[in-house]
Amino acid sequence: MSRPSDDIGTRSDTSRAVAFSDAVFAIVITLLVLDLRVPEVPPGHLLSGLLGQWPSYAAYLASYTYVAVVWLNHKGAFNRVKESDRGLHWVNLFVLFTTALLPFPTAVVSHALQEHDQQDQRVAVAFYALIGALLCASWLAFFHYLARRADLLAEEASERHFPAERIRALVGVILYAAAGLIGYLVAPLAGMVIFVVLPVFYALTSAGLHQVPLVHRIAHRPPTSGR
Amino acid sequence: MSRPSDDIGTRSDTSRAVAFSDAVFAIVITLLVLDLRVPEVPPGHLLSGLLGQWPSYAAYLASYTYVAVVWLNHKGAFNRVKESDRGLHWVNLFVLFTTALLPFPTAVVSHALQEHDQQDQRVAVAFYALIGALLCASWLAFFHYLARRADLLAEEASERHFPAERIRALVGVILYAAAGLIGYLVAPLAGMVIFVVLPVFYALTSAGLHQVPLVHRIAHRPPTSGR
Amino acid sequence: MSRPSDDIGTRSDTSRAVAFSDAVFAIVITLLVLDLRVPEVPPGHLLSGLLGQWPSYAAYLASYTYVAVVWLNHKGAFNRVKESDRGLHWVNLFVLFTTALLPFPTAVVSHALQEHDQQDQRVAVAFYALIGALLCASWLAFFHYLARRADLLAEEASERHFPAERIRALVGVILYAAAGLIGYLVAPLAGMVIFVVLPVFYALTSAGLHQVPLVHRIAHRPPTSGR
Amino acid sequence: MSRPSDDIGTRSDTSRAVAFSDAVFAIVITLLVLDLRVPEVPPGHLLSGLLGQWPSYAAYLASYTYVAVVWLNHKGAFNRVKESDRGLHWVNLFVLFTTALLPFPTAVVSHALQEHDQQDQRVAVAFYALIGALLCASWLAFFHYLARRADLLAEEASERHFPAERIRALVGVILYAAAGLIGYLVAPLAGMVIFVVLPVFYALTSAGLHQVPLVHRIAHRPPTSGR
């Protein structure tokens, strides 16, 4: 508390940033359902209409899982942060920006798979990949900022954590870019499959790639532990 | 606090999970109103238009009550949880996923009852029942996880609580499935009535079916106590 | 803390109920803006289109102020509550239910004033009044519940507060009913004007009608105090 | 805690006002994405459709940044406030009101730039400027209120802070008015560019214009500090 009074408002604990971020993630994850629409079919065709919307369901599942993983990542990162400053707020707002965009490419993909030709589907999958990669890039900026600001970290946090996390974010950028290329050049559906699978990769590694002694930790868990 | 530092981010208190869940429930319960639309009728027919939308109101009421009960259940469950880990986050995210879906079958049912033939209404009611049962199934997974992880529970919590809660969730799966069958095979409206009534059953039992000495507790309440 | 452990989950502090309610109020007050639409006019007529939507703006203002006052009321009430039980959760969920409905009659009124004949406008204003009165009725139930449960109140709270608040809620029911009658029988616009004015009455009295020594309190405030 | 008991509910700590405001800001910043729509183009034209929507993206970016800066401002202001009273709640609700309006002019501008003639674009840009200036005016009221209520401030807060902040808010009113005039009289696109740039000005000065020894502070930061 020895900081000068003109620092009020620029450096502070992270509680409001966390609460604000939680609200944004909660809204994004819930807004996705607004793109699941009642199918506009003539009477008697509701069942086929609902079944025909499967691309919407797949896109919803991919984006829901993605946002869920982003939230878990965010929680894991801020557990290691003691204090936030202006710069951390802005990289955090960049992460929120790219996450809040996600419902848009989700709607574009599910729409294109239902009503457009294959050329449009390639475009839609590439567009989703672009925003997905941008989201990973915002995490890269976020981790890079914290990798250089040890003074903001909690005491228990390992200083090697955030430098290592950058690699995981970079891998994400590359994987989404690859999914976009495959979806655009090879087959849109192949891109879609990767979009559903990619968040699972992130979910499994969200404890941090650098935590090598995984076996050690698993051994310390009760045998019934689910992951 | 004797946990190794690489556990930061995987095990933690439940405050963020609770705040995030509250936000999702609040958004879902409020988004339901977006399906109450201004009726598109020629001038002079607003009253009949509003009255003709009664299935929307019934569906809104059913889903609002359902989400309210889910929130109360969630509150009751997390009051008994001291700490969350990765697995608990994922079963919680599964509960949020099925709850966030609810506005979609709600819109399908209210739409079908207003503009489709009886065959579509059967489909719509069965679809609502499917998502309703899925929501109970996500609770089953949630309770099952906690039934096996006594190390995550608060000290005051009875170890018999979560194993017993699984039965209540299973009953919910069966009741929604039954409502779907009745709505599909017998009469869509009968299914609808069950959807409005079912959350009341959950509301009355949300203190936990295993709390046998109910009479005892009621006797300890002041006579003016409303439930 | 001498309560038996099977009371976990039924009686608890009010923090989650307050956070959940805050989120619902925040969503309702923000969703209102979704009914402000880009006017669908031919090129060159945007200005007249925007001006022609004035009933939307009036309805938005009325409902925004109403929800703001509901939030202030809710804050004032829960400041006096120490603990919540099942019954309090349900009357609170009833208040949230009626508040969450508000965007619907708001949209009906603003739509009717722009595109329907006067008969429809009478219906729309009466409908808004109905939901407005229902909201006050939910407060009546809320205050009535707390008036009989002194064991839930904070120690500093006056026991006469909630019994007296019932009168204020009842006055609200009557005033919205009167506004509906005037709007239906006399002139829809007169009803609209009352809808904009009524929340101001509530705002001014939200400290509680029973606090007779108002002059005393004002005298204790610094002269610059705005209300 | 020597306040009389009838002050419960009127004066209180700021936690609920902050949580409620955070939720509103989070919703507004996320609702903006709802105006990014799947382009309605014939099959095969998705790419050109997406590219043709660039005004939507520019408007989204301008409004997202604006709300982000409003949130940072709000955080900076409330860090200096110890206690809130009725008046502070109402000026805060005024800030939330103008912020919640922002998605509406955003939609008007992006719509006009895509589908209307230049006269409509002038109107749309002037309308955005009007709401932008109104938002700054609400901050002016907010800062003016706090400038006169030193009893509500935290002990560490400088008494000169809020009086000085009024100037920054007033500059905002003038700059948005100027952008509106330029957009209306000279060229709509010039106004648009100012809308994207203006929040950056606010972001850079959100620590407060009166904090003259900026150099001092920068000198105390580690060289890697990003802003």
- The whole-number pLDDT of residue A8 equals 54
Provide Rg for chain A, Cα atoms: 20
Residue C207 to chain B, least CA–CA distance (Å): 26
For chain C, list the contacting chains (3+ Cβ pairs, <8 Å): B, D
- What average pLDDT does this structure show over C82-94? 91
- Give me the mean pLDDT over the B124-137 stretch: 94
Read out DSSP for A7-42? GTTTSB-SHHHHHHHHHHHHHHHHHGGGG-------
Quote the pLDDT of residue D35.
Answer: 84
Judged on CB neighbours under 10 Å (0-12, 13-18, 19+), C213 is exposed
Are D50 and A89 within 8 A, CB to CB?
no
Separation in Å, CA of A143 to nearest CA in chain B = 15
Determine the distance in angstroms separating the CA of C215 from the nearest CA of chain B, rounded to an integer.
36
Q: How far is A220 from chain D (nearest CA, A)?
A: 38
Q: Above 60 in pLDDT, residue B210? A: no
- Which residues of D87-171 form beta strands (DSSP E)? none
In this complex, which chains have at least 3 CB pairs below 8 Å with chain D? A, C
CB contact under 8 A, A119 and D79: no
Do the chains contact at B6 and A77, CB–CB below 8 Å?
Answer: no
Query: Does position C44 have pLDDT exceeding 50, yes or no?
Result: yes
pLDDT tens digits, one per residue of C181-194:
999 998 888 888 88
* Residue D8 scores a pLDDT above 80: no
pTM value? 0.86
What pLDDT was estimated at residue D207? 54
Asked if B129 contacts B191 with a C-beta cutoff of 8 angstroms, the reply is: yes
Select from A22, A71, A206 the residue whose CB has the most chain B CBs within 10 Å, as the one to mutate to test that interface.
A22
* Interchain pair C71, D28: CB under 8 A: no
Written as six digits, the tokens of B38 are 């201004």
Chain B residues inside the 8 Å CB shell of A76: 8-10
Q: Tokens 């409502």, residue?
A: B179
Categorize the per-residue pLDDT at A140 as very low, low, confident or very high, splitting at 50, 70 and 90.
Answer: very high
The answer on pLDDT for C215 being more than 80 is: no
| B110: closest chain A residue by CA | A38
Share of chain C above pLDDT 70, in %: 85
Mean per-residue pLDDT for D67-85?
Answer: 90
pLDDT at A203: 77
**Interface touch C120/B45, C-beta < 8 Å:** yes
Mean pLDDT of chain C: 83
Q: What is the chain C residue with the closest CA to B39?
A: C108
User: Do the Cβ atoms of C33 and D34 come within 8 Å?
Assistant: no
Sign of CA dihedral B49, B50, B54, B57: positive
| CA quadruple B121, B101, A225, A155: dihedral, nearest 10 | -170
Long-range contacts of the stretch C111-115 (C-beta < 8 A, 24+)? C111/B38, C112/B46, C112/C188, C113/C55, C113/C59, C113/C188, C113/C192, C114/C52, C114/C53, C114/C55, C114/C56, C115/B43
C11: pLDDT strictly greater than 80: no
Report the distance separating Cα B19 and Cα A23, nearest Å.
8
Burial of D186: CB neighbours in 10 Å, binned 0-12, 13-18, 19+ = exposed
For residue A32, the one-letter residue type is: L
- The answer to whether the CB of A123 falls within 8 A of the CB of A112 is yes
Retrieve residue C150's tokens: 């002194």
pLDDT at B4: 41
Q: CB of A156 within 8 A of CB of B5? A: yes
Rg, Å, chain C Cα set: 20
Alpha-carbon distance of D109 to D124, in angstroms, equals 5
| CA-closest candidate to residue B28, choices A96, A40, C96, A15 | C96
Confidence at residue C152, expressed as pLDDT on a 0 to 100 scale: 87
Among C22, C208, C227, the residue with its CB nearest the CB of D19 is: C22
At residue B81, what are phi and psi to the nearest 5 degrees? -110, 130
Give the separation between CA A22 and CA B17, rounded to whole angstroms.
Answer: 9
Q: Residue C141, Cβ neighbours under 10 Å: how many?
A: 18
Distance from the C184 Cα atom to the nearest Cα atom in chain D, whole angstroms: 30
Question: What is the structure's pLDDT at C219?
Answer: 37
pLDDT at D197 exceeding the cut of 90: no
Give chain C's end-to-end CA distance (angstroms, integer): 40
In this structure, of B45-54, B186-195, C195-204, the range with the lowest mean pLDDT score is C195-204
Residue C116 has pLDDT above 60, yes or no: yes
Provide the pLDDT for residue C206: 58
φ and ψ at B84, to 5 degrees?
Answer: -115, 150
Q: Inter-chain contact C27–B25, Cβ cutoff 8 Å?
A: no
Residue of B202, B197, B160 whose CA lies nearest to B62: B197
* Res. C222 pLDDT band, cuts 50 70 90: very low
Partner-chain contact B120 A44, CB within 8 Å? yes
Predicted confidence (pLDDT) per residue in B32-80, tens digit: 888 888 888 888 889 999 998 988 898 899 889 999 999 998 998 998 9
Cross-chain CB nearest to B26 (options C24, C124, C151): C24
Structure tokens at C205: 């009295």
Residue C12 — φ and ψ, nearest 5°?
-165, 170
- Pairs of CB atoms within 8 A across A/D: 112
Contact B108 A38 (CB under 8 A): yes
Q: Does D84 have pLDDT greater than 60? A: yes
CB C180 within 8 A of CB C130: yes
pLDDT: which is higher, D5 or A18: A18
ipTM of predicted complex? 0.82
Q: Do B224 and C149 touch (CB under 8 A)?
A: yes
DSSP C185-198: HT-HHHHHHHHHHH
Percent pLDDT > 70 in chain B is 85
Q: Is-contact B117 A44, C-beta < 8 A?
A: yes
Q: Across the interface, do D10 and C71 touch by the CB < 8 Å criterion?
A: no
Task: Give the closest-approach CA distance of B48 to chain A in angstroms.
Answer: 22
Which is nearest to D108 in space by CA: B225, C33, C216? C33
pLDDT of residue A201: 74
Q: Is 70 exceeded by the pLDDT of residue B119?
A: yes
Q: What is the pLDDT of residues C128-183, one digit of tens each?
A: 999 999 999 999 999 999 999 888 888 777 888 888 889 989 999 999 999 999 99
Q: How far from B122 is each of A63, B108, B125, B127, C84, CA to CA, in Å? A: 30, 11, 5, 9, 41
In chain A, count H helices and then E strands. 9, 0
- Selecting from A6, A34, A116 the residue whose C-beta is nearest the C-beta of D211 gives A6
Contact A201, A64 (CB under 8 A): no
Neighbours of C42 (CB within 10 A): 10
Residues of D in contact with C106 (CB under 8 A): none
The answer to whether B23 contacts A18, with C-beta atoms less than 8 Å apart, is no
State CA D113 to chain mean position distance.
22
Tell me the chain A residues in contact with residue D62 when contact means C-beta distances shorter than 8 Å: none
Contacts of A112 (CB under 8 A, 6+ apart): A120, A121, A123, A124, A125, A188, D46
Comparing A130-139, B139-148, D215-224, the range with the smallest average pLDDT is D215-224
Show which subunits contact A, needing at least 3 CB pairs below 8 angstroms: B, D
Q: In this predicted model, which residue has the larger pLDDT, C166 or D2?
A: C166
Shortest Cα distance from D202 to chain A (angstroms)?
13
CA-based nearest distance C23→chain D, Å: 6
Q: Which of B13, B18, B30 to mutate to test the interface with C (most CBs of C within 10 A)?
A: B30
Count other C-beta atoms under 10 Å from residue A204's C-beta: 11
CB contact under 8 A, C43 and D111: no
Mean pLDDT along residues A50-74 = 90
Tell me the Cα Rg of chain B: 20
Give the pLDDT confidence score for residue B206 in this predicted structure: 58
Q: With a cut of 50, say whether residue D217 has pLDDT above it.
A: no
pLDDT digits (tens, 9 = 90+) for D36-67: 888 888 888 899 999 989 888 988 998 899 99
Q: Do D149 and C75 touch (CB under 8 A)?
A: no
Contacts of B156 in chain C (CB under 8 A): 5, 8
Cross-strand pairs, B218: none
Verify whether the Cβ–Cβ distance D43 to A116 is below 8 Å.
yes
Contact B207 C107 (CB under 8 A): no
Q: How many CB pairs under 8 A join C and D?
A: 112
Tokens at B119, concatenated:
């065959």
Q: Which chains touch B (3 or more CB pairs under 8 A)?
A: A, C
Query: D11: pLDDT confidence band, cut at 50, 70 and 90?
Result: low
Q: Secondary structure of chain A: what % helix, strand, coil (to 5)?
A: 75, 0, 25
Residue to mutate among B18, B29, B46, with most C CBs inside 10 A, is: B46
DSSP codes of every residue in C175-227: HHHHHHHHHHHT-HHHHHHHHHHHHHHHHHHTT-TT--THHHHHHHS-TT---
Residue A57 confidence (pLDDT) above 60: yes
Residues contacting B204, CB < 8 A, separation 6+: B227
